[in-house]
Amino acid sequence: MATKKGSTKKKASGTKSAAAARPTGGAVPPYGEAIRQATARGDVAEMRKAAASARKWIKDAQAALETLEKRIAKTGGTK
């Protein structure tokens, strides 16, 4: 049992695995709302941070979408 606890603890504090970094479905991070709130507060540093975070998410999502489209094309679009 100590081994499981140790490995769980390691995962929580260590680097995310590739599987953990991938979205599994469900809600999308609320970047639109975070951007609106930062803009409303007028905090330039917060706005820059929200913009950088959103750009990274968009880049990652675009890469995942391209991979998905390639796999769909590979299967001929069928099951």
- pLDDT tens digits, 20-72: 455 555 555 667 888 899 999 999 999 999 999 889 999 999 999 999 999 99
pTM higher than 0.85, yes or no? no
Asked whether the CA dihedral 50, 21, 69, 79 is positive or negative, the reply is: negative
Residue 51, C-beta contacts closer than 8 angstroms, at least 6 positions apart: 35
Residue 35, C-beta contacts closer than 8 angstroms, at least 6 positions apart: 47, 50, 51, 54
CA distance 60 to 40: 27
Average pLDDT over residues 5-17: 46
Residue 35's closest CA among 26, 25, 24, 46? 46
